[in-house]
Structure 1
Amino acid sequence: MLYLIDASVFIFRAWHSIPDTLTDPSGRPVNAVYGFGRFLGELLERVRPEHIGVAFDARPSGSYRNRLYPAYKANRKPTPEALKRQFALCRELCEALGVATFISSGYEADDIIGTLAMRLRTSDKPVVIVTRDKDLSQLIRPGDHYWDYISGQRFGYEDIAGRFGVLPERMACFLAVTGDAVDNIPGVPGVGRKTASTLFHHFESLMHLYQDLERVLRLKLRNATFVATQLRDHRETALLARQLTAIACDVPLRTALPDLERRCPDLAALDVFYDTVGFGRLLRLQAERLSA
């Protein structure tokens, strides 16, 4: 199996859950690095993956989505400088642990994961996406797994609709209609998750929905006339949102399956790294077990 990790989920979780009183010898916070390192080391010990990659976000404002819609993610507070530094340290830690990392100035981590999944699935490698971001569920195909590592839940292709309300292939359309407040993506006003789930139970895509909008009136749907009217009146908004919610699977990455082979940890580099950030024996022992 090929394990693809959405780094931001675990770095932000560590940043918010571990006190920033955990600092390096210079007094700078390393709480996010420590939490991420614990997570990654535990995962490596647990599954011993042959192939693995970690995707990082660059500057959110640099995504192609911001060119399509400048307000994309504009509701988010700027990343603190102390956390930006820790993101860089997390990438350094991955490399020392023998795990390939990926980042792009024009695309997001989701797009990198989508590209790797699409490209390397042709090598008959089932994909495990390690995240808790619902957007990434749209990438799951038969044989793949969506792993919410934090809750300990894994979902196969056949489980996604029960978990998120819609088949993986229809998730981007589902989000285009409901909108996504987390990413500041507008949807169709008055159309919530339950209604959207019903719509995309009957329609394969947003394109199919707009090609036969009158069919909405014949569905067993509460306020069907209102829903059809809202969809018609906010068509351009929904079509724009569909461009924002779709994960791009054509990031120009130069990589092949061998590039994602897990390497043996570089214990010397890790010792220098852990000395720099002021970590003790716990993570060092974990790295030694991984190299055994």
Structure 2
Amino acid sequence: MLVDAAGLYFRAFYALPDTITAPDGRPVNAIRGFLDMSASLIERRRPTRWVACLDLDWRPAFRVELVPSYKAHRVARDGSEEIPDLLGPQIPALLEVLGAFGLACAGADGFEADDVIATLAHRDTDPVEVVTGDRDLLALATDRVTVLYTGKGIAKLEELGPADVLAKYGVPAEHYPDFAVLRGDPSDGLPGVAGIGEKTAAALVTRFGSVEAMLEAAAAGDDGFPAGAAGKVRAAKDYLAVAPAAVRGRLDVPLDVIDDALYLEPRHPDRLDELAAELGITSSVQRMKKAIATAHG
């Protein structure tokens, strides 16, 4: 199970009130929510391996160079990611709790969690489940990789394989990024191609596959385009030449071998108990322990 950690702790932060606090008064709603949601996933799906994948660079330079508007709407005045004041301090504490459990975390300088997930899913041979609210990762869906999409919440988790992606969006999973580039995605600051909406984007992907193939066909005067679409593709050729590389998850992130086993016993039990008391999250820690025990059968 590969978890988009930021996606989960942001979801937890907004789902639970910030009146959930530690004994010293600091908010711990994101920590509690992350642990409770993770416990629910582990209990239901029973993975034997688990990794929290981290955004060590939420807006990598290589993506901004390709598409300057990439996530630009989420940049704070100081150039960092816009994170709620009450969430930021919870993240290091959450990572310390995960470390005390012995739950694996993985990240790489210059890369987003999406890239970490894509690399780990690609290089493995076991069945993989990807937990994310980012639809770009639907591209990873194969007979071996299932995307557990959290867009409607953990309770209404969508289990998406390649056939499900095709049925839901009308495009092969591997070409979902091409579809997103054409249609646009405001959440990532992707402008899309003017005049091309969801239906036309799906039709183009079905006909040509990749954006690169569309550009070649449009330049060659291929008559397989819907009316007017070839001109729109040609007009957006500069954007289309670079955007796919900004959207697709990287498969070459330099990651060491990760000890990602879901161990029955916490790695640092005394420190975990200290953190549980300090943060006032004893019930969430116990719930996680119970979930891990359930996964072990």
Both structures adopt the same fold (TM-score exceeding 0.5): yes
* Structure 2 Cα separation of the partners of residues 286 and 210 of structure 1: 49
Q: Is the 8 A contact 2:36 2:287 kept in 1?
A: no
Pairing 1:185–2:183 present: no
Question: CA 1:285/1:129 → structure 2, altered by over 3 Å: closer, same or farther?
Answer: closer
* Structure 2 Cα separation of the partners of residues 191 and 80 of structure 1: 35
Partner of residue 165, structure 2: 160
Between structures 1 and 2, the one with greater helix share: 1
Question: CA 1:38/1:8 → structure 2, altered by over 3 Å: closer, same or farther?
Answer: same
Deviation string, structure 1 residues 232-252 (Cα, Å, up to 9, x no partner):
011111122112111111110
Partner of residue 40, structure 2: 42
Deviation string, structure 1 residues 50-94 (Cα, Å, up to 9, x no partner):
112111212424453124334321102511243122222222222
1:174 is aligned, of 179, 204, 213, to 179
Partner of residue 263, structure 1: 263
* Structure 1 Cα separation of the partners of residues 191 and 29 of structure 2: 34
Q: Is the 8 A contact 1:63 1:108 kept in 2?
A: no
Q: Is the 8 A contact 2:148 2:160 kept in 1?
A: yes
Q: What is the TM-score normalised by the length of structure 1? A: 0.88
Question: CA 1:60/1:289 → structure 2, altered by over 3 Å: closer, same or farther?
Answer: closer
* Structure 2 Cα separation of the partners of residues 167 and 49 of structure 1: 27
Deviation string, structure 1 residues 35-56 (Cα, Å, up to 9, x no partner):
0010112222233321121112
1:68 is aligned, of 62, 66, 69, to 66
* Structure 1 Cα separation of the partners of residues 271 and 67 of structure 2: 42
Q: Which runs of 5+ in 2 are unaligned?
A: 77-81
Q: Is the 8 A contact 1:145 1:156 kept in 2?
A: yes
Deviation string, structure 1 residues 5-26 (Cα, Å, up to 9, x no partner):
1112221111111111111122
Partner of residue 93, structure 1: 97
Partner of residue 115, structure 2: 111
Q: Is the 8 A contact 2:207 2:224 kept in 1?
A: no
Specify the code of the residue in structure 2 equivalent to 1:169.
E
* Structure 2 Cα separation of the partners of residues 57 and 263 of structure 1: 24
Partner of residue 276, structure 2: 274
Partner of residue 3, structure 2: 5
Q: Is the 8 A contact 1:6 1:131 kept in 2?
A: yes
Q: Is the 8 A contact 1:50 1:261 kept in 2?
A: yes
- Aligned residues: CA RMSD: 2.1
* Structure 2 Cα separation of the partners of residues 265 and 89 of structure 1: 20
Q: What is the TM-score normalised by the length of structure 2? A: 0.87
Q: Is the 8 A contact 2:57 2:109 kept in 1?
A: yes
* Structure 1 Cα separation of the partners of residues 110 and 201 of structure 2: 30
By how many angstroms is 1:282 displaced?
5.0
Question: CA 1:114/1:212 → structure 2, altered by over 3 Å: closer, same or farther?
Answer: same
* Structure 2 Cα separation of the partners of residues 251 and 4 of structure 1: 15
Count of aligned positions: 281
